[in-house]
Structure 1
């Protein structure tokens, strides 16, 4: 009887290109600055999601729901950059749009917010979100320019 064995195919996760992408991604996200920016961005998203209850403006149900959805989306979006930074850094522009929306939302969603806890909270976390999204985009662009 002949021993018939199926040829084993190489695993995709050991492919040289995949391994090089992982090495570049780890190099980019391994710096303390990149880790700090990502952590701050995640904290911004978590705060935004919980801000109606932390800052005490849960009386505006529409804005509370808006902040909850935008905060979860922002935190998930920027949290996904770490494991696959080389492929996802360009999505930081989507995080920038969410952060910019956060700044404008009290006036667009509610329509009459002046200087209240909701307005101040959204503007502060929105500006921090914009800065962290721009920093994440800058880290990715710098990595790409270096020939990454």
Structure 2
């Protein structure tokens, strides 16, 4: 018994998909985007190693927090650099991770409080990460919006 073949009629065959892909590739290969991707990667790496740079000694919960969030941000930055056409829309996740880095010293170490160095470190790296995430989001919005005619 033979079944009739079904043709794919999803969004992949839509005429505007090729145009959207071309605009995304053009924007993803611009020098601004490459710089943002690199800075996101560096911010993630610094957030991951910052517990040992700033000496978060005696505070294992904030150490693990920064390590995990830093690795996540770094992987997003690396993914954006290696496969921008697939990862560029995930850039929106960087801003909330940066905001979490800012508030995490008070949330994670609520029982015994964080030292001033930990708070300053997380506020700076979190603020920079959130700004980079917002910038990447702005570039994403610029790619996905259709120009008015």
Tell me which interval the TM-score lies in, with the shorter structure as reference length: 0.7 to 0.9
Instruction: Quote the Cα distance in structure 2 between the aligned partners of 1:136 and 1:42.
Output: 12
Equivalent position SS for 2:118? helix
Instruction: Quote the Cα distance in structure 2 between the aligned partners of 1:24 and 1:54.
Output: 41
Which residue number in structure 2 is paired with residue 65 of structure 1?
64
Instruction: Quote the Cα distance in structure 2 between the aligned partners of 1:30 and 1:120.
Output: 34
Note if contact 1:21-1:86 (Cα within 8 Å) is conserved in structure 2: no
Q: TM-score, normalised by structure 1?
A: 0.77
Which residue number in structure 2 is paired with residue 101 of structure 1?
100
Equivalent position SS for 1:81? helix
Equivalent position SS for 2:81? coil
24-33 vs 101-110, which moves further = 24-33
Which residue number in structure 1 is paired with residue 5 of structure 2?
none
Which residue number in structure 1 is paired with residue 134 of structure 2?
134
Shift in CA distance, 63/96, structure 1 to aligned 2, threshold 3 Å = same
Q: TM-score, normalised by structure 2?
A: 0.76
Question: What is the number of residues matched between the two proteins?
Answer: 132
Root-mean-square deviation over aligned CA pairs = 2.5
Gaps of 5+ in 1: 1-14
Shift in CA distance, 19/143, structure 1 to aligned 2, threshold 3 Å = closer
Which residue number in structure 1 is paired with residue 74 of structure 2?
75
Instruction: Quote the Cα distance in structure 2 between the aligned partners of 1:133 and 1:123.
Output: 15
Note if contact 2:44-2:74 (Cα within 8 Å) is conserved in structure 1: yes
Gaps of 5+ in 2: 1-12
